[in-house]
Amino acid sequence: ASRSIRITAPWRSIRDRQPARESHAVNPRFLSPSQLAAYRRDGFLVLPGLVDDTRCLALRERAMELARRHVPEPAQATIFTADGRALHASDEYFLGSGEAIRCFFEQDAFDASGRLRTDAHLCLNKLGHAMHDLDPVFDSFSRTAELAAIAADIGMQAPLLLQSMYIFKQPRIGGEVICHTDHTYLWTEPPSVVGFWFAIDDATTENGCMWALPGGHRLPVKARSRLNAARTASELEVLDPAPYPAEGLVPLEAERGTLVLLHGALPHLSGPNRSDRPRHAYTLHAIDGVADYLGDNWLQRPTLKLRGFNP
């Protein structure tokens, strides 16, 4: 059992504020029984060809444009390290990004004197975290009948799209992401977060594809990220100091248009991109509206209403 405590007033859970429910009974089922069994057994499911190239490339174009449009001033810029810490950052820039479209840079994006090595939009780590609600191209990519059906198939009763990230994993400087679970960062009780990860470029072991631990979603989650008392920064509360198993992870290579479903308690990571090919990906994190989303999670949506997968 986690040692987390639930904070209610004055930060009510998202469910209390936004009881947006959508029926899953109206959608046809999408996954086959064997696909569902594999998801339950492994904690992930790779679905090649879910999105056609045209839509992937349109999202890619849009992400590049948003990157150019939203590049922050150097003083605001947040850099991401492999363990998810934000450096040199205005924490406010990060903590307020749950309701915004903001740019986060690679650790290697800056030279020794602190200047960007190349154009800002070419050294971004990611865009986050509300493109799916604030940009029409991301909105329509993120909300389809297929995705609604898949969410229903894996047992989500009232899915809510909480967070979107467009990850650039740039050639040569694209950083690694160490082993973690998404539930650590988007904590609900009971656990409910699911990652919907889309390959926008082909992802291989050379350019930093994801790796995951089959069956690892049955292990206890080892940490919880939560806001400090002043709500000015997030801190990692360690629940179990033993590291994740180093053996047994499998690469999730994925061609453009592949959807990878990731159970929120599944340990996963991605390597650095030292190749000369980009590895763009788009991730949506959905929670179940029937679970409690805790008020001391870093991502809060005080004004922007959460919606599900239905267009």
Site residues for Fe ion per CB under 5 A = 182
Least Å from the CB of residue 180 to Fe ion: 6
Residue with smaller CB distance to Fe ion, 184 or 207: 184
Separation of alpha carbons 66 and 135, rounded Å: 9
DSSP state of 273: B
Q: What values do phi and psi take at 271, rounded to 5?
A: -80, 170
Least Å from the CB of residue 19 to Fe ion: 27
Least Å from the CB of residue 162 to Fe ion: 13
Residue with smaller CB distance to Fe ion, 133 or 182: 182
DSSP-assigned letters across all residues of 73-140: PGGG-EEE-TTS-EES--HHHHHGGGGSEEEEEEGGGB-TTS-BSS-GGGSEEEEEE-HHHH-HHHHH
Least Å from the CB of residue 185 to Fe ion: 8
Least Å from the CB of residue 125 to Fe ion: 13
Owner of token pair 């709500």: 231
Residue with smaller CB distance to Fe ion, 182 or 201: 182
Residue with smaller CB distance to Fe ion, 71 or 179: 179
Least Å from the CB of residue 268 to Fe ion: 6
Distances (CA, A) of 247 to 63, 163, 212, 243: 35, 30, 10, 11
Is residue 66 a contact partner of residue 139, using CB atoms and an 8 Å limit?
no
What is the length of the chain?
311
Separation of alpha carbons 32 and 50, rounded Å: 14
Separation of alpha carbons 190 and 166, rounded Å: 27
Residue with smaller CB distance to Fe ion, 27 or 181: 181
The one-letter amino acid at 293: Y
Least Å from the CB of residue 29 to Fe ion: 26
Is residue 176 a contact partner of residue 272, using CB atoms and an 8 Å limit?
yes
Separation of alpha carbons 167 and 63, rounded Å: 9
Residue with smaller CB distance to Fe ion, 44 or 93: 44
Least Å from the CB of residue 65 to Fe ion: 25
Nearest to 151 by CA among 305, 299, 28: 28
Residue with smaller CB distance to Fe ion, 7 or 223: 223
